[in-house]
Structure 1
Amino acid sequence: MTSTTPAHDDRPGGGPGGGRARLRQRTLRTDRWWLGPTLTTLGLATFLIYGAVRVFQQDHYWVQEHHYLTPFYSPCLAAQCVPDASLFGRVPWEFPPFLPYALISLPILLLFRVTCYYYRKAYYRSVWQAPTACAVREPHSSYTGETRPLMLPQNGHRYFFYAAGAIVLINTWDMLVPFFHGTEGGFGIGVGNLIMLTNVLLLWAYTFGCHSCRHIMGGRLRSFSRSPVRYWLWGRISTLNNRHMLFGWLSIASLMATDAYIALVASGTITDLRIFN
């Protein structure tokens, strides 16, 4: 008589009889579980490639007429920077081609994004495939968590949050300055102003929605009733935190859109449409 009992290995735990089922398939899922990780990989790759090209292009980052400065070059620190684009001053030497003009801000923002809890989940699953999706076998034979030397900086996310907040403040200043450099030299509003404003709002929404920001505001409180203001702020931050993934992707898209628009205007490809001068 042939047995219909599923085959098990000899390792303890997991299934009937103390073993785990031997499955040759990577997964028994029949849905398109691979679509999300694939789109995530393509999205992150697009941003990294576009950002690298623009950062090392070292051109078309400043629109003198309207004082538009792309966030990829802010603050512009190299001696090669256009004087008016260096709102916070320049160092007295020229940067070699392999150094970005925004030498301080870009590493901070990259570290803030890379160590973000959402992005960690995103690239762990899509790039590192640990795991790619629920009920999908990993290609790795062991799990080490975040204990390896290259993974230890992940624990510094809360500190990168403070530094990233300072950079977003600079981006906010970069956004406000062009409003007072209209075509006639006074207050003015153009499409570029609105794009930069949208970008800054999304950057703040992403930054304030950070898990570290939420913890700083209310994570150590023993009683919310004794701190009503912090409780109210914690609630608002929690609302942003619930949409952290959304604001993460929207802010990436707005960064590229803002940079692309300023680059097109700076290169003379298009003209900034003025709404009010």
Structure 2
Amino acid sequence: MTTTEDTAVSPPPRAAITPRNLRTDSWMRGPILTVVGITIWVVYATFRVFYQGDYWVPDYHYLTPFYSPCVSEGCIPDSAHFGRFLPDSPLIPYAAVSLPFLLAFRLTCYYYRKAYYRSFWLSPPACAVPDGHAKYTGETRFPLVGQNLHRYFFYAAFLISVINTYDAILAFHSPEGFGFGLGNLVLLANVVLLWCYTFGCHSCRHVMGGRLKHFSKHPIRYRLWTISSALNNRHMMWAWITLASLALTDFYVMSVAAGWIDDLRFVN
């Protein structure tokens, strides 16, 4: 009789070689660039979130996405489209309602997991390169077991994208009436890119086409699933582009609000 031990498959031992790996290409370039890029973005975003200034342009209703929705009692009244109910404190971001969910959505994103696992944790840093840790436990322990909540953070991110879209539309209606400037294009482009990233999320793709036995009986969901799948193929690209668009949009609004530059107006 064949036992379990007889049929078990064990991986072969590692070859007795001195080098840690046999790769001769510049495999460290990817992890290094990822660390540099994410670190720069986190430093800038953290500064802006707690700066609590130059986030609103009253003449054109420009609101930076880093402060949306602005719900602190310290918010300029016209910028608080959904009321002001959080206490005004230098330790509490003006958009404290949305920022934790957006951070959690990005941290648990499938692409970002790969990015910071490989770059910050070296787990592993690249294909065919040994893990930087002696023990591997996967995502079965705290806090990594929380990665399974990604599907729920997606719903929050979807709602916040709706709010960002509302902000971009509202910016076309300044106190002087309908207006259109370079800032509108910046806000609108950022919203479109955010939707490409959000709608291409793996969880969104499953929401659109998951648990269906016959696509032919659900043509609308099938169409949405195909669009989400197409965006999902470039999920890494959208992940990086939206980091850049968020920072650039915030910097543009800050520059106009601080009076460093004037908004280029096309209409009104």
TM-score range, shorter chain: over 0.9
Q: How far did residue 95 of structure 1 move? A: 2.3
Whether the aligned pair in 2 keeps the contact of 1:13 and 1:20 (CA below 8 Å) is: no
Match of 1:49 in 2: 43
Q: How far did residue 219 of structure 1 move? A: 1.8
**Of 240, 255, 262, the match for 2:253:** 262
Match of 1:154 in 2: 147
Map 1:71-110 → 2, pairs under 5 A: 71-91=65-85, 94-110=87-103
Q: Which amino acid counterpart does residue 22 of structure 2 have in structure 1?
A: L
Separation in 1 of the partners of 2:132 and 2:151? 31
**Of 62, 65, 86, the match for 2:56:** 62
Percent identical residues: 56
Map 1:226-265 → 2, pairs under 5 A: 226-265=217-256
**Of 181, 185, 193, the match for 1:190:** 181
Report the 3-state secondary structure (helix = DSSP H, G, I; strand = E; otherwise coil) of the residue aligned with 1:130: coil
Alignment partner of 1:40 is 2:34 = yes
Separation in 2 of the partners of 1:161 and 1:262? 26
Whether the aligned pair in 1 keeps the contact of 2:125 and 2:132 (CA below 8 Å) is: no
Q: Which amino acid counterpart does residue 221 of structure 2 have in structure 1?
A: R
- Count of aligned pairs between the two proteins: 260
Q: How far did residue 47 of structure 1 move? A: 1.2
Q: How far did residue 178 of structure 1 move? A: 1.1
TM-score, length-scaled by structure 2: 0.94
Q: Which amino acid counterpart does residue 104 of structure 1 have in structure 2?
A: V
Q: Which amino acid counterpart does residue 213 of structure 1 have in structure 2?
A: C
Separation in 2 of the partners of 1:193 and 1:27? 51
Report the 3-state secondary structure (helix = DSSP H, G, I; strand = E; otherwise coil) of the residue aligned with 2:135: coil
Map 1:165-244 → 2, pairs under 5 A: 165-181=158-174, 185-244=176-235
Alignment partner of 1:132 is 2:164 = no
Q: Which amino acid counterpart does residue 177 of structure 2 have in structure 1?
A: G
Separation in 2 of the partners of 1:121 and 1:105? 24
Whether the aligned pair in 2 keeps the contact of 1:111 and 1:160 (CA below 8 Å) is: yes
Q: Which amino acid counterpart does residue 225 of structure 2 have in structure 1?
A: W
Q: How far did residue 13 of structure 1 move? A: 4.8
**Of 8, 17, 20, the match for 2:14:** 20
Q: How far did residue 14 of structure 1 move? A: 4.4
What runs of 5+ residues in structure 2 fail to find an aligned partner?
1-8
List structure 1 segments (4+ residues) > 6 angstroms apart after TM superposition. none
Deviations 1:160-197 (A, max 9, x none): 00011111111111101110117xx1111111000000
Whether the aligned pair in 1 keeps the contact of 2:121 and 2:132 (CA below 8 Å) is: no
Q: How far did residue 20 of structure 1 move? A: 2.6
**Of 156, 160, 185, the match for 1:163:** 156
Q: Which amino acid counterpart does residue 27 of structure 1 have in structure 2?
A: N
Q: Which amino acid counterpart does residue 196 of structure 2 have in structure 1?
A: A
TM-score, length-scaled by structure 1: 0.91
Whether the aligned pair in 1 keeps the contact of 2:59 and 2:174 (CA below 8 Å) is: yes
- Give the CA RMSD over aligned residues: 1.3
What runs of 5+ residues in structure 1 fail to find an aligned partner?
1-11
Separation in 1 of the partners of 2:223 and 2:98? 31
Q: How far did residue 26 of structure 1 move? A: 2.1
